[in-house]
Amino acid sequence: WTSFSVAKSITSTLVGAALKDGHIKSMDDKVSDYIPEMKGSAYDDVSIRQLLTMTSGVKWNEDYADPKSDVARAGLEPVVGGVNPIVAYMKRLPREAAPGTKFVYKTGETDLAGILVSRATGKTLAQYASEKIWKPYGMEQDAIWVRDTAGHERGGCCMSISLRDYGRIGQFMLDGGAGQLPPDFVAKATTKRVDTVPGGATGGYGYFWWMAPDGYDARGIFGQMIHINPAENLVIVTN
């Protein structure tokens, strides 16, 4: 079953694994430290932490009904000069706010985070997910990860996973990353770091995880969800 944006939360988890393995030195490192093509762009001063909270301040349109929106165009870019098309597209975007000051939901930034993990680890996202989650945690079935036009997995979308293995991802988080993540990473990733509505009227966002009244969620556009309630030691998966 395809996940759509549930994959974003798994990409965040792989950032945590790369931190533990020493491939990423700090959440305060700049995006351009790991993706040199972003130097001189609006992302030059954006940290990994700001990327994972979608507070880069870079202008973006996530309107799925608009064929000219950024989210529609970024995934269809051709490969030119050997540069990943997501990187090439994101590099051209303008700034609209100072980094860390404004939340805007951007699938392109989760794709960029996936590319950053691959650059840092020297492995594809699928390879790294296999090493850090699938094999050590005993997933029941293989997963499939949709790739962009350059053949790189989309960090923001579209893993196909069995329902029980979605549940195991939730249990992996309840288990604090099962030794594959820094000891405090799950707590930091699943704590509200930014309001998703001005004034904090509803919810909030962590590191590619949505806050819920009784826990936190990985959410996809068509109702896919891994809901985790730590107080009840409970994982609920819907698809």
Element housing 13 (H / E) = helix 6-20
CA 185-191-195 angle, to 5 degrees, is 135
Digitized pLDDT (tens) for each residue of the chain, 239 residues in all: 899 999 999 999 999 999 999 999 999 999 999 999 999 999 999 999 999 999 999 999 999 999 999 999 998 888 998 899 999 999 999 999 999 999 999 999 999 999 999 999 999 999 999 999 999 999 999 999 999 989 999 999 999 999 999 999 999 999 999 999 999 999 999 999 999 976 655 689 999 999 999 999 999 999 999 999 999 999 999 99
pTM listed for this prediction: 0.96
Q: Rounded to whole angstroms, how far apart are CA atoms 103 and 99?
A: 10
Side chain identity at residue 51, one-letter code = L
Question: What's the distance, CA 160 to chain centroid?
Answer: 16
